[in-house]
Structure 1
Amino acid sequence: MSRPPLVIPSVSEHTATVIIVHGLGGDGQNWKPVVDMFRGNLPHVKWVLPNAPVRPISAARGQKMPAWYDLSTYDLENSLVEDEANMFESVHALDKIILEEVHSGISESRIVVGGFSQGASMSFLVGLTAGQGRNRWKPGGIAVMGARLPLQSKFASLASAEITEVPIFWGHRQEDAVVKYSHGCRCAEQLKTELHVQNVERDALGSPGLCFVAYEGLAHAISDEELGDLKEFLERTLPAKYHDNSQDAG
């Protein structure tokens, strides 16, 4: 990563961490207003907002911008070529952030990884896949918005054995023109049919499985209602009071 992540400390004792991965052309600072809104309800959470390296984007005729990987086309639904090498280079960089949190004493189950658009793709790869010489994580949750499943044709072969045990929140606007809603629905269905991730209803948000929520709106963006559901997901998956069973032994 070209710049270190923006780190916003917990208000009270640090017992959980949320890592939010920005989208194409953005940076960690984009998420700071959201963190500022959430901190009062999640005072025990430390926030880590990584910054992608700047790289030329083929779909933008080589224009350089912050990106976790290159895009060959903006027609994401029909793209046949994905930048797997840079995807996993970025995954390894994000893995290091998780490893630092674990080494500091935060359990994997107290870490949620989430993101928007390209950041959502990275969240799926970091939190739900194994192999590639990586640690295998079992995070407390995955939260994605405006998402698509990366490396669709091989995602099932990359998926970790724990994928069915992880709570997943997926928010998607019904008229998103960048990552089309129909494409998002097909990707979500793939998680359920190929990988046996169970469907979770909205009132059970935060339970193991996939809670896919549709929102009205045209833009490839995040609505206030969606942010409200994200906050509730974090409150349910990372409650302030929890019992660390790992401390019971001995």
Structure 2
Amino acid sequence: MADIKITWLGHAAFLLEAEAKLLIDPFISGNPKAPCSPEDLDPDIIAVTHGHSDHLGDTIEIGARTGCRIISIHEVANYIKSKGVFAEGMNKGGTMEVEGMTLTMTHALHSSSIDASGFSFDGGSPAGFVIGIGGHSFYHAGDTSVFGDMQLIGELYEPEIAFLPIGDKFTMGIKEAVKAVELIQPKIVVPMHYNTFDVIKQDPEKFKRAVEAKVNTKVIIMEPGESIEI
């Protein structure tokens, strides 16, 4: 298996680096926890889970500057293309092979729209991604509540690492995220989408204790800008 470097950029943004670099939900500008600027990032691929500004983020600016491939649900891809930047749309249940990795789009329970310049655009349906790289499998849940079919995601794709929101209010909180871990059964879980703003303030140590009391899953609490390798 290939070594993969994972860097958390705060909120729901992650950079996965192997032979190619995959950037997920690049909310950098306006993110008080971001450890870098959009100009510091030169991904080969950007994957966008849904159209909300804290996930679509700097996708268009980065895509225009780097020419990287952008993958999202069909309606978000259409919006990005309307801004003069090429994007490739897909939908839930589908899989794309991109730069030696696979991206499978999964369901997420959330809302989705794109608010820009005083207008609201159809953001399609929110999604997550299962990413296969170098023999490893990762599940980025996007913004979601817990749902029973997370068990199917675990059974079908057997993700080693799951990135799960715990911030509450706009996504699942700690109680629901612990149940999600029970359903998915990953080897490792990394909490995300918390403490960016006061409204989603959470104690990740509480999440860690609750998970490790129930299932044989390791919780890794990352700081924005921190990297791990597997």
**Higher-helix-fraction structure:** 1
Superposition TM-score, scaled by structure 1 size: 0.38
**Per chain length, whose mean CA-contact separation is higher, i.e. which structure has more relative contact order (CA < 8 Å, sep 6+)?**
2
**Higher-strand-fraction structure:** 2
Superposition TM-score, scaled by structure 2 size: 0.40
Larger radius of gyration: 1
